[in-house]
Amino acid sequence: MVPIHAWIFFIQLVLVSGAHLENSNGTGNATHSDMVKKLFETYDGTIRPANPNGSSSTIVSIGLTIENLRDFDDEKMTFSVQLTIEMRWNDSRLRIGDGDECEYVNLPLSLAKKLWRPDMNFVNECGHLKHSGSRDDEHYRIYGDGVVLYRTRVTVTYFCPISLEMYPFDKNTCTMMFANAENLDDDVQFAWSPVDPLVLIDDLDQAGFWVNGFVARYCPEDSMRG
């Protein structure tokens, strides 16, 4: 639909607290493949990995890339965002080789489906679509030191209440909330990535709206419990 006014955004992201294996340098591939396959022979993906620093919680680092903003609806007060989500956590059961953090192995889905993996919940969504059909839409990598990288692409529709009191000079803050879907305790803790937790592509500004700024922050779980 044609927008009745120009949306000016301040995006607020809230975090509640026959396949083959490919080696990073293209050499020693068979050795790394054999090692990883052997690890998965005894690996139990139903068991949450222990934190290497001795904490009882599993810390999952989150990074988001906003690839696209579209489908702004002034009447429904909704918009859609295409996200690339990157999660990292440490699973010491998956250390390979000498534990070199610079070495990695890309996992095929046949092995990746056996991984323990955190489940992200889009708290204030109206609906979401997980992309499929391309290798780039879901990617798994294990580093030598046991760090697991999981990258996926989704499109999420959010509700964003807008105010027209200052029209045509109104600015609106749209909040996108993310949380661990499995529980609201301390077993799994989401944390923003220390490096570039949020990336916006350069050409997001389109006819009818402008991205005026963004901030990534935390929301205590107690506030969600009411």
Q: Which amino acid is at 64?
A: L
CA distance 223 to 226: 5
Tell me: pLDDT of 143 over 70.
yes
Whether 194 and 169 have beta carbons less than 8 Å apart is answered as no
Instruction: Compute φ and ψ for 136, nearest 5 degrees.
Output: -75, -15
Query: CA 174, 178, 181, 182 torsion: positive or negative?
Result: negative
The mean per-residue pLDDT over the stretch 205-213 comes to: 62
Domains in the chain, please, with CATH? Answer: 7-225 (2.70.170.10)
Instruction: Characterize 47-74 residue by residue with b for buried, 16 or more Cβ atoms within 10 angstroms of its Cβ, and e for exposed.
Output: ebbeeeeeeeebebbbbbbbeebeebee
The whole model's pTM is what?
Answer: 0.77
CA distance 48 to 180: 13
Tell me: pLDDT of 118 over 80.
yes
How confident is the model over 162-175, as pLDDT tens digits? 776 656 566 777 88
